[in-house]
Amino acid sequence: MLATILIIIGAYLIGSISFAVVVSRVYGLPDPHGYGSGNPGATNVLRTGNRAAAALTLVGDGVKGFIAVWLAQRLAVAVDAPAWTVAASSLAVFLGHVYPVFHRFAGGKGVATAAGIVFAWHWPLGLALTVVWLTMAFGFRISSLAALTTAVLMPLGMFYIGGPGPVAWSSVAIALLLFWRHRTNIRQLVSGRERPIGR
């Protein structure tokens, strides 16, 4: 049980690394908490006009989600951890991004990290959801709409692929948290005031 707890804590700590903050410091950009939406994520970093920094933020947040789950999958087998360890670690890395201990629990909305998690679970589903996100994002130019669409499809895909196991249920929790983190965006979408990507 101790090994399981350590795996989950490790996933949370990996998630707590905010690449929006790290990349902004490297590029000499303002703290992403202090402008735009105040959200430390790739979309907000893009508002500085620095596309390279935004791209690195996107990739970093995605890769940390993948690495945390990939490590949990292998460590869980090595230490004979319970079947729910990977599911709990998946949720832990996502919570780390959303509520990072290293940044006063003020984290991002979790879209890129969720994508990395899904790629670790089942890469074909991750690829399919990425295509959906890109189609929605470039078609409507609204990041939140693309994120919410893929958040709905993610648990449906996981239940279809693997049935109602622990990982599928963790995908439901992640999807619900994505909607919660986008609650302001949902209100703006309904009122027609949501800002397009890059503005």
Threshold 0.85, pTM exceeds: yes
Residue 182 DSSP class: T
**Residues 115/129, Cβ–Cβ less than 8 Å:** yes
Encode the chain (199 residues) as per-residue pLDDT tens digits: 888 999 999 999 999 999 999 999 988 888 888 887 777 888 788 888 788 988 999 999 999 999 999 999 999 999 999 989 999 999 999 999 999 998 888 898 999 999 999 999 999 999 999 999 999 988 888 888 999 999 999 999 999 998 999 999 999 999 999 999 999 889 988 887 877 765 5
Alpha-carbon distance values, 199 to 46, 138, 153, 166, 182 (Å)? 9, 14, 27, 39, 18
Please say whether the beta carbons of 112 and 58 come within 8 A: yes
